[in-house]
Chain A
C-alpha cells in the first residue's frame, strides 16, 4: 500500500510539486505566476523540497537578469507518484 508523504501532503506543497511534474524545468517567476503565490511563500516551499531532495535549482542569466530554474528530481517524481497513489487509495476506500 502506498504511503502518504507528510512533506507534500499540505495542499499548497502538493500543488508546487504537481505543477513541476508538468514540465522538465521551470523558472521561479513562471512557477510563482502559475501558482499565484508570493516570492517568500514559494521560496519556503522550494527550500523545504530541496532539503528533502525532491527538487533541485540552478541559477541562470536571462536578458541580463539573474533567474532561478527549478526542476523536480527523480526522487521528487517518485514521492509524488506514491503520494497520489495513496490519496487515490483513500478515495477508493471512502467510495
Chain B
C-alpha cells in the first residue's frame, strides 16, 4: 500500500502549479503544527529572564565584585535555562529551528526588545534607589513580557513556518557568546 505522500505524488499533476504549491505548503504546515514546545517552556523562560534582570540591576547598582558575581550568575542561569529548553525542544521534536533560538536567547522581536529594555531600565533605576520591591516588580514584568513575546513568535511561526524559521545559528551564537566574554574581560581589566 502506498503512503500518503507517494499516492498524493502520483495523483498530482506536476504541471498543475496551484496543486503543487498547495501540497508543498500543506506538508510544511503539517510539520510546523506538529511541533510542541517542551512542558514549562514559557514559565521557565519568564523566571530565568526575571532573575537575569534583577541580578544585573543589583550588580550594576552595587558596583562591587560581589555585585558583578551576582550579575554574572544571573546571566549563567538564564543561558543554562535557555540551553536546556532548546535542547529539550530538539529532543522532543527532532528538529532545530534557529528562529526559536534567536527568540529565546537573543530576545529578538519588537515586543520582547521593548519590554526587556524598559524593565531593565526600571529595575536598574530602582536598584540605585534601593527600591527592592520595584526591582522585583520590574524584573517580573520583563520576564513575563519576554515569555509573551516568545509565545507570540511561536504562533506566528506555526502560521508561516518558512518565513520565521531562520535565525541565528548555533555557530553564530557561540561566536557572539565568545565576543561577549571578551567584552566582559576587557571591561574587567579596564575597570
Chain A residues with CB under 8 Å of chain B are 9-12, 14-15, 17-19, 21-27, 29-31, 34-38, 41, 62, 69, 84, 87-88, 90-91
Contacts and interface: CB of A to CB of B under 8 A. Distances in A.
A24 B171 CA distance: 13
A63 B130 CA distance: 49
Contact of B24 (A11, A24, A26): A11
Interface stretch (B67-75, B94-102, B137-145, B175-183): B94-102
Contacts of B169: 24
Interface residues of B, number: 37
Interface stretch (B14-22, B77-85, B114-122): B14-22
Contacts of A24: 95-99, 165-167, 169
Nearest to B11: A11
Mostly, the B contact residues are: helix
Nearest to A11: B12
Nearest to A8: B24
Given A24-B98, A24-B166, A34-B34, A18 B28 contact: yes
Given A22-B32, A34-B31, A14 B20 contact: yes
A90 B20 CA distance: 12
Interface of B: 3-6, 8-9, 12, 14, 17-21, 23-25, 27-32, 34, 91, 93-99, 161-162, 165-167, 169
A34 B33 CA distance: 10
A88 B18 CA distance: 8
Given A19-B28, A37-B3, A90 B161 contact: no
Contacts of A87: 17, 20-21
A76 B6 CA distance: 22
Contacts of A31: 31
A9 B14 contact: yes
Given A14-B23, A24-B97, 5 more contacts: A21-B28, A24-B95, A36-B5, A87-B17, A91-B21
Contacts of B6: 12, 37-38, 41
Contact of A88 (B5, B17, B29, B167): B17
A62 B87 CA distance: 12
B117 to A, nearest CB: 27
Given A22-B28, A24-B97, A26-B95, A15 B23 contact: yes
A15 B7 CA distance: 13
A12 to B, nearest CB: 4
Given A36-B4, A87-B21, A88-B17, A11 B97 contact: no
A6 to B, nearest CB: 10
